Copies of this chain bind each other. A is one copy, B any other.
Amino acid sequence: MAKELTPRSEDYSQWYNDLVIKADLAESSAVRGCMVIKPYGYAIWEKMQHELDRMFKETGHVNAYFPLFIPKSFLSKEADHVEGFAKECAVVTHYRLKTNPDGSGVVVDPEAKLEEELIVRPTSETIIWNTYKNWIHSYRDLPILCNQWANVVRWEMRTRLFLRTAEFLWQEGHTAHETYEEAEAEAQKMLNVYGDFVENFMAVPVIKGVKSETERFAGAVDTYTIEALMQDGKALQSGTSHFLGQNFAKAFDVQYQTREGKLDYVWATSWGVSTRLMGALIMTHSDDNGLVLPPNLAPIQVVIVPIFKTEEQLAEISAKVNEITAKLKALGITVKYDDSDAKKPGWKFAEYELKGVPVRLAMGARDLENGTVEVARRDTLTKETVSLEGIDAYVKNLLDEIQKNIFKKALDYRNSMIKKVDSYDEFKVEIEKGGFILAHWDGTPETEAQIKEETKATIRCVPFDTYLGDDKEPGKCMVTGKPSKCRVLFARSY
């Protein structure tokens, strides 16, 4: 078969690349590090957007749009932020091209140099807080709960489709509040929205927690994160929500009149998820046959393939399929009927497996006689023959079952890959096996850096929940022996 994937056991990284390309999700473009998101990949992203957007609106947020460009000087206004974001970025220096004097193509017009360079946004805190300064005067103007869907650019030396690209698509929420408590609660609320979305729609289990100082967003007081585990035992940060304190309000001088008539700086949060989620979705569920998509996000939930030899057979099957399709659509199920005769059924089966369509119905002449249909599940690759009587309810239940099953499978795997380690020697052995490790750490950036240097493992978060019993009890750092308040979660990561 032309579209065979490298098996995961042979080369997980190559399997991922093969799958993204062969399932028509995305491809590299002529522009270094920038991808083309192909229609099938974009259809999944659109479903993600749709659900997230609904969840944001249900929690009181509104959408807006802020400029693509950020004046260079804005990036320097928040001391930590500039360290994190003003380095690898796309810089616009000129605003005009002109015909090359030698007549060949176009060249940059040296006379069209910008007075101040513009940066293509790597994230929008600075331009947004410069805007909020004009929107906020009094507590009556608060809270502001804005989100934007946008493209951002972070110049990356080593890129991978969806996981790390120079340009990517995301949403970024930016909220402004009267009090510390309200902003802090907002940051937590949005982390929970992300957690709900990733677990209930993507069927990807996550561990929620707070980042160490080293891994914190540049300019945040605290960064909350959801961490998922891929099939190769590496962690993938899937969404972050930042409590920004008054850092950006101070950097952009955004003060408001309080209820008591005083002036105070505004409290802030920001939070984002990106097309990187596509990588998490792919790597959590898929197998050597291709994508496995959760029914809640699959662009095609059910594909129907006719098995026929003659035109008459096809006509009879199609008549029956049209009845089934109408019933399924009435239940809100997305159905594709592939009656093309350019490809054989075997080819179609493989193709829709590659594309991760959750349920496949195949109907042949014998099914017609017997009033049955063959139902194949993408997640378990099992098939059974089912009566057409009540097929719509059967398929609807099956989709629910598949959604639950792939979450459970991912959760069982993830839970089996959380280990507790008490010595650094053991840590070095265990980290090679992949998965999450709960271990004690003395809380210093120095020890964290040493561990990363020596084992390539980073602290993914200090989890909010307890996973292995004594996680929250104090202990001694596995490296320095110094006191530790609780275990933290280590892993190698994407």
Interface size, chain A (Cβ < 8 Å)? 63
Residue of B nearest to A94 (CB): B91
Residues of B within 8 A of A30 (CB): 67, 71, 74, 127, 130-131
Residues of B within 8 A of A167 (CB): 67-69
A464 contacts the other chain (Cβ, under 8 Å)? no
Q: In the docked arrangement, what's the CA distance between A463 and B117, Å?
A: 44
Interface pair B63/A90, CB less than 8 Å apart: no
Residues of B within 8 A of A6 (CB): none
Interface pair A140/B342, CB less than 8 Å apart: yes
Interface pair A97/B92, CB less than 8 Å apart: no
Interface pair A86/B90, CB less than 8 Å apart: no
Stretch binding the partner chain, chosen from A10-18, A31-39, A287-295: A31-39
A226: shortest Cβ distance to chain B, in Å? 24
Interface pair B97/A31, CB less than 8 Å apart: no
**Which of A29, A104, A155 neighbours the largest number of chain B CB atoms within 10 Å of its CB?**
A29
Interface pair A96/B87, CB less than 8 Å apart: yes
A151 contacts the other chain (Cβ, under 8 Å)? yes
Please give the count of copies of this chain that the complex contains.
2
Q: In the docked arrangement, what's the CA distance between A134 and B62, Å?
A: 39
Interface pair B90/A95, CB less than 8 Å apart: yes
Residue of B nearest to A145 (CB): B39
Interface pair A29/B67, CB less than 8 Å apart: yes
Q: List residues of A (98-117) whose CB comes within 8 Å of B's CBs.
A: 98, 104-106, 108, 117
Given contacts A39-B62, A98-B87, contact A93 B108 (CB under 8 A): yes
Q: In the docked arrangement, what's the CA distance between A68 and B32, Å?
A: 12
A75 contacts the other chain (Cβ, under 8 Å)? yes
Partner of A76, one of B105, B131, B140: B105
Q: In the docked arrangement, what's the CA distance between A153 and B69, Å?
A: 10
Partner of A131, one of B29, B43, B86: B29
Residue of B nearest to A24 (CB): B135
Q: In the docked arrangement, what's the CA distance between A342 and B87, Å?
A: 47
A386 contacts the other chain (Cβ, under 8 Å)? no
Q: In the docked arrangement, what's the CA distance between A87 and B97, Å?
A: 5
Residue of B nearest to A134 (CB): B27
Residues of B within 8 A of A29 (CB): 66-67, 127, 131
A344: shortest Cβ distance to chain B, in Å? 16
Given contacts A82-B106, A95-B91, A131-B29, contact A42 B68 (CB under 8 A): no
